Structure 1
Amino acid sequence: MSYLNPSEFVGKMIDAGEAKVFMSTRDTVIRAYMAGAILALAAAFAVTVTVQTGSALVGALLFPVGFCLLYLLGFDLLTGVFTLVPLAWIDRRPGVTVKGVLRNWALVFAGNFAGALTVALMMAVILTFAFTVAPNEVAQRLGEIGTSRTVGYADHGAAGMLTLFLRGVLCNWMVSTGVVAAMISTSVSGKVIGMWMPILVFFYMGFEHSVVNMFLFPSGIMLGGDFSIVDYLVWNEFPTVVGNLVGGLTFVGLTLYATHARPGAGRTRPAREDVRTPEVAAR
């Protein structure tokens, strides 16, 4: 696969962030909607596979198919723009302001949520024959996920909130690494391989992804999960969003930018002594 060195793909990261700031509202929302919907379908697929095979690893191995598809199609996730868009402002690209960065984040959040909610409703209807039969095993699992990852955190108080936040940090450390990994290759196969590995890690480890949760928790509520909308927002979505922002920007965006786009001055090398023998030096 064709490989770009870090100084090249970091430049692409900054260019991508700048382009997203100036994208029209219509295009930003449409791309975010489709990203949220595709990722939600991938999450539904992974949960179904996990339930039917009894193996969480198999579900995690297959989940990245949705992530790869949405990025190859040029759609945007909140986790990705958290990492890329601020770099254009930090790099002082003309016209890029804090207001523009926040506008992009807000539009992508809204689009992702709408797309994920659409799929959550569709899956709830499919799994219950339009709410006319009891939830099947997959539907019950969706409800259990929502309960354990809201009320389950709340039961531990501040320690639960810290755990939730750190899972959000680690999640977008991996997810944003996947976003960047897609830029290190110019071939489709190289991009897919680069994205697949960190996404597999995040999903199997049970880290908290704000957009995946936009599907899991609304569908869990529809399917009888023992938690409320307030539980979802306070004890998952909002802390996860903050954790995703910190993880992606701190451990991926800023580190790559600092050391490849704006590297520090190198240390002065000491002069080398001529250690050759007089006979060799005279030749």
Structure 2
Amino acid sequence: MAYYKPQQIAEVTVENGTKKVHSRLVTVLVLGFLGGAFISLGFLLNIRVVAGAPAELGSITNLIGAAVFPLGLILVLLAGGELLTGNMMAVPLARIAKKISTWEAMKNLILITISNFVGAVFVAYFFGHIVGLTGSGVYLEKVVEMAAHKLDDSFVQAFVSGIGCNWLVALAVWLSYGSDNMSGKILGIWFPTMAFVAIGFQHVVANMFLIPAAIFEGYYSWGEYLINFVPVWLGNLTGGAIFVAAAYWAAYLREPQDSSVALAAKDQSSQASAVRKQA
């Protein structure tokens, strides 16, 4: 199982961020819808698993829910999808590296925000409300309880929580770029994602599912959701763009260097050739 070193991951991320910005509009919108839906399905799985757990389990229940939530990000990165929090790291890195313009970066983040929201609300309404997976019994109680915790945070608390969330989520995306096979990518995604959920940080796309799911059942309002959305969005952007993208640009890309990805590919090719000769 081959993996890239941090400088190589940085170069791959710049390339991916550039590709995201230059994708066709229909591709961006479709993959953005899928990204929002996939994260929501992971959250729905979390709720269905933990809602009926006995109180005696305490924080172990949160750990169990956190352990199944990464399904959503795995689907985004392996099956295909565009996720706002991941783009908040890859696209700014491409901008810092001067591969794209500021307007192109902003346009991509706006389009993914809208399409992620549509995908998340689709799952919340049709699977949660219409099918009833979040609309009754212990499942409704859990949704309302979790939404209340998100909405209770002040602007500053939600903003800082958003930073912590996307510091971890962006690192999950970063690690997935560091592997060249599916099993390595899943392992790289799993643990940082599980950590942010277990800690309780705020994820703007996950909230696009959770809070509307509660609203559809008659709790809270869209105004309350908007008050939460703004600081979490800004916090997630800060976590991805500053704490991951800018940090690794300063560490690995600020000074021009030979392409380590190309060198790694050359080394792997040489090693494979040597193995064939030995065989």
- Shorter chain as denominator, the TM-score bin is 0.7 to 0.9
- Give the aligned length: 250
CA distance in 1, matches of 2:149, 2:74: 28
Number of the residue aligned with 1:277: none
State the match for 2:20 in structure 1. 20
Q: Is the 8 A contact 1:127 1:139 kept in 2?
A: no
SS of the residue 1:53 aligns to: coil
Q: Is the 8 A contact 1:41 1:119 kept in 2?
A: yes
Structure with the higher helix share, 1 or 2: 2
1:147 positional shift? 2.5
1:89 CA displacement = 2.0
Q: Displacement, 1:264?
A: 9.5
Displaced runs of 4 or more, over 6 A = none
Counterparts of 1:249-268 in structure 2, within 5 Å, are 249-263=241-255
Partner of 1:239: 231
Partner of 1:42: 42
- Paired letter, 2:24: S
Shift of the alpha carbon at 1:74? 2.6
Provide the residue aligned with 2:187 in structure 1: 193
- 1:126 and 1:149 map into 2 onto residues whose CA distance is 24
- Please report how far the alpha carbon of residue 128 of structure 1 lies from its aligned counterpart in structure 2 after TM superposition: 7.1
Q: CA RMSD in A?
A: 1.7
Q: Which has the larger radius of gyration?
A: 1
Contact 1:169–1:245, Cα closer than 8 Å, also in 2: yes
Tell me the distance in 2 between the aligned counterparts of 1:53 and 1:193. Answer: 26
Please, what TM-score do these two structures have when normalized by structure 1? 0.85
- The counterpart of 1:125, out of the listed 125, 130, 149, is 130
Q: Aligned equivalents of 2:148 and 2:64: distance in 1?
A: 23
TM-score by length of 2: 0.86
In the aligned structure 1, how far is the partner of 2:64 from the partner of 2:29?
32
Partner residue of 1:276? none
Partners of 1:7 and 1:247 lie apart in 2 by 19
Q: Once the 2 structures are TM-superposed, how far is the Cα of residue 263 of structure 1 from its aligned partner?
A: 4.5
- How far residue 186 of structure 1 moved from its aligned partner, in angstroms, is 0.5
Q: Secondary structure at the match of 1:2?
A: coil
Deviations 1:11-51 (A, max 9, x none): 10000111111111110010010010011011011011111
SS in structure 2 at match of 1:186:
coil
Equivalent residues in 2 for 1:95-114, closer than 5 Å: 96-114=100-118
Letter in 2 for 1:79: T
Give identity over the alignment, percent: 31
Distance 2:14 2:162 in 1: 23
Unaligned runs of 5+ in 2: 55-60, 258-279
1:77 aligned partner: 83
